[in-house]
Chain A
């Protein structure tokens, strides 16, 4: 094999094995930073060995064994130091042999080392941003520099965020186990929040931006698929996966040839990725079958599915969407959900129904300077034939938006109301 080819193969192996390696090592050395270091050492050993010997038949086991030897060497060294520095060498010798412990732990069938690593990286003691950075680093294998580019942040900021997160986890004395029972639900919510945050960061990327940003969507989908493979009985895992698959199915359709954003109703639906839609619908079905129909992610996925099923905008089942929003606002109260619900009502039951709901939330502080609110209200008024009032709302929305293209669109709509 040519040198570059071997190098590529090693990189591919490492991409496949890295997270599992770090997960397994973390459980043994009980130190995230040390585990990552050991995994990195193992890679360096592979890079020097494999070009000579070829990639071993079971590269994962090779890397684990190499990291394990390093871990044991490290422990022996620590023990030697302890011996030199203390006068109680004899006692130490009689203590339980940590090297033996490590061997035993390594031989355990730690099938969910990856899952435990995900739970650790997404621990609720960390901020959502820290969780996202740590997850992309440990499970996604992204470099600090790549994460910084992906989140439009400075590299030192991200580096510091990761160091602090590891320290926080180290100080908290976590067990690095997959949480069970009551704790699991809360911890899982914390994981799903991070996965969706990563996805949305990628979804928010605009044309012409660094490609690493839209790639975050794929990374989040991969995380979602991994979770779905590891936590097969968790409805919200499938709800989130369904939501991401369906949203991602529209990635190609939401950008016009000139790079501008195309709204859901304007999209060429032939460009939707039907394969992802089918996968999304299947995941949604599973979430519902597991009894999760009222989970926030499953509900959002069900909403996305209503659009995905409509081949033409006119086919959209707005009645069903309105009902789903009724349920969603119970499961996940938010003024944004209320606003979307008003839009759904206007489509299902006419503009007056939308106006009634939008007036109920007009006073909410979070929506005071939120352009979509007057834009929606303007649309309802326009459709109700109250053109002068509609114009005022469109103008207000145009004032609030920071997006030039949207501003132009809203002013056009204001213009269409006459004077």
Chain B
């Protein structure tokens, strides 16, 4: 199964990267961890995200679309980075996350979410919606 692994933001990560020995150390540890993930055939993708001050949100309500500039409040709910992993089950994903070096200077959180696969939709939604989803993917991949 594929899982998305989110590193949650903290006040530190929201301030952006400032060069320091501590940061270098963390990068080195994270680099080693990533290497482990690659060597185990687990890691498919992963990136770090810039602070929400450089992000934007679009709020939806009926026909209206409102663009909101970052930074955003509720820091703990923000995402600071992600991985995409291929694991056998959630237990394996949890084991790997436990091995992750502290992703932030202070207390922080990592969240694991299984990714929907086409098989999950089939039987739950109508074939028409599955077809619609497929059409969407087709357009997406036309890029």
Residues of A whose CB lies within 8 Å of any CB of B are 8-9, 11-13, 15-16, 59, 114, 218, 221-226, 228-230, 252, 268-272, 274-275, 277, 279, 311
Whether, in the assembled complex, B56 has its beta carbon less than 8 Å from a beta carbon of chain A, the answer is no
Knowing that A9-B94, A12-B91, A271-B134 touch, tell me 8 more A-B residue pairs with CB under 8 angstroms.
Answer: A9-B91, A9-B95, A223-B41, A225-B38, A225-B41, A229-B41, A275-B44, A277-B141
Q: Mark B99-143, 1 if CB is under 8 A from A, else 0.
A: 000000000000000000011000000000000001101101110
Partner of A274, one of B92, B95, B135, B137: B137
With known contacts A9-B91, A16-B95, A16-B96, A270–B137 Cβ distance under 8 A: yes
- Is there contact, CB below 8 Å, between B140 and A12? no
Determine the residue in chain B with the shortest Cβ distance to A271.
B134
- Is there contact, CB below 8 Å, between B92 and A270? no
- Is there contact, CB below 8 Å, between B137 and A279? no
Q: Chain B contacts of A8 at CB under 8 A?
A: 91
Determine the residue in chain A with the shortest Cβ distance to B84.
A275
A53 to chain B, nearest CB (A): 15
Interface size on B, residues (CB 8 A): 24
Q: Chain B contacts of A230 at CB under 8 A?
A: 39
Whether, in the assembled complex, B40 has its beta carbon less than 8 Å from a beta carbon of chain A, the answer is yes
- Is there contact, CB below 8 Å, between A226 and B41? yes
B102 to chain A, nearest CB (A): 13
- Is there contact, CB below 8 Å, between B95 and A226? no
With known contacts A270-B135, A271-B134, A311-B142, A12–B95 Cβ distance under 8 A: yes
Determine the residue in chain A with the shortest Cβ distance to B39.
A229
Pairs across A and B, CB under 8 Å, 22 listed: A9-B94, A12-B88, A12-B89, A12-B91, A13-B95, A16-B96, A59-B95, A218-B86, A223-B41, A225-B38, A225-B41, A225-B42, A225-B86, A226-B40, A229-B39, A229-B40, A229-B41, A252-B118, A252-B119, A269-B138, A274-B137, A275-B44
Determine the residue in chain A with the shortest Cβ distance to B131.
A270
Partner of A15, one of B35, B88, B135: B88
Determine the residue in chain A with the shortest Cβ distance to B115.
A275
Residue with the greatest number of chain B CB neighbours at <10 A, chosen from A230, A268, A275, A279: A275
- Is there contact, CB below 8 Å, between B95 and A271? no
- Is there contact, CB below 8 Å, between A311 and B138? yes
Q: Chain A contacts of B135 at CB under 8 A?
A: 270
Determine the residue in chain B with the shortest Cβ distance to A19.
B40
Instruction: Give 6 closest A-B pairs by Cβ, nearest first.
Output: A225-B41, A270-B138, A270-B134, A12-B91, A229-B38, A226-B41
